[in-house]
A and B are shown apart, each in its own frame.
Chain A
Amino acid sequence: MQRAALAAAAVALLAGGGVAAWRALHPPPPSPAEKPLDQRAYGETTDKEREDWMRKLGYVD
């Protein structure tokens, strides 16, 4: 019984390690919010982001 539990733990560790190793080698692409504003489509920007951006450049008060 104890041996079976340990064997299951070893398998789980191997699987978890494999996933972690895969993620380390293949990081997910940045989400839209992580891209610079000017490289996003309009729908990927928020009202606040656009307004702050425009304020900095003198397009709004």
Chain B
Amino acid sequence: METNINTFEQLKKECIERGKEIYEVAQENMAINSDLKVEQVRAHANRSLFAMKEAIQVGLVSKELSMSGMCGQDCHRIQERFKEQPALFGGTFEKILKYALATSEENIRMGRIVACPTAGSCGILPAAMLSVAEDCDCSIEAQLNALITAGEIGRIVAAKVALAGAVAGCQAECGVASSMAAAAVCQLRGGSINQILNASALALKNILGLTCDPVAGLVEVPCVKRNPFLAVHAITAVELALAGVESKIPFDEVVDAMEQTGAMMSPTLKESSQAGLATTKTGLEVQKRVFG
């Protein structure tokens, strides 16, 4: 039994050899490596799951602006709009957008969220996973399985690339969050190990190169609105993977490509706010207004 898994190839092999699903291997290894019981690992995940739901509930009803005043009311706007005119793609789609905005707006007003994998990308996984879980009547245990599956995906990516905009751009934050969300939703929808890994690989592959150029250095523009975009992005990957569509580039190699792209990305586009959206005419005006 291998408890030190650092690639998706190893993970797949281990799942097959143990005859277990991704979340089972993940929670067993976590328990062994940290001197915990599997139930304790799941209890910790449950704490995150609960906090995700709480953040959504609080975020849905708040209209408080962020410290800069740039963000904080888009979730309210979209709810008002859906009351008058439902979204084209149905109720689950509406929930995904609402939940992603609710969570990421809670984040920027110093509310309580779950970094998943980071604070700036905190709305992506909860929005995709919990919208689907609610509308497909998934049990708490099934939601925990999905969350732990997602965690294992993020953990293995992080074994190669630090999940920080300053290291590899937003592909390593919102991109990885979307990849994790795809794994969670695919798990909820009964996807096989192969389908889960393909869903995750497809989601990550299609966001490679995403820069981190936040206006005034704040986790607000474009971060908040990027959350609903990338939550929906994850669902696209899941639908493709469940249909048997495969990533032609194996997941481990997609991660290698992300690492290389991140290393080659100009430091001005990696959380330093020295280029891109941050240095547009309006971006600089905002910076001056906020920080003087």
Q: Do A and B come from one complex?
A: no
Binding site for B on A (CB under 8 A): none
Binding site for A on B (CB under 8 A): none
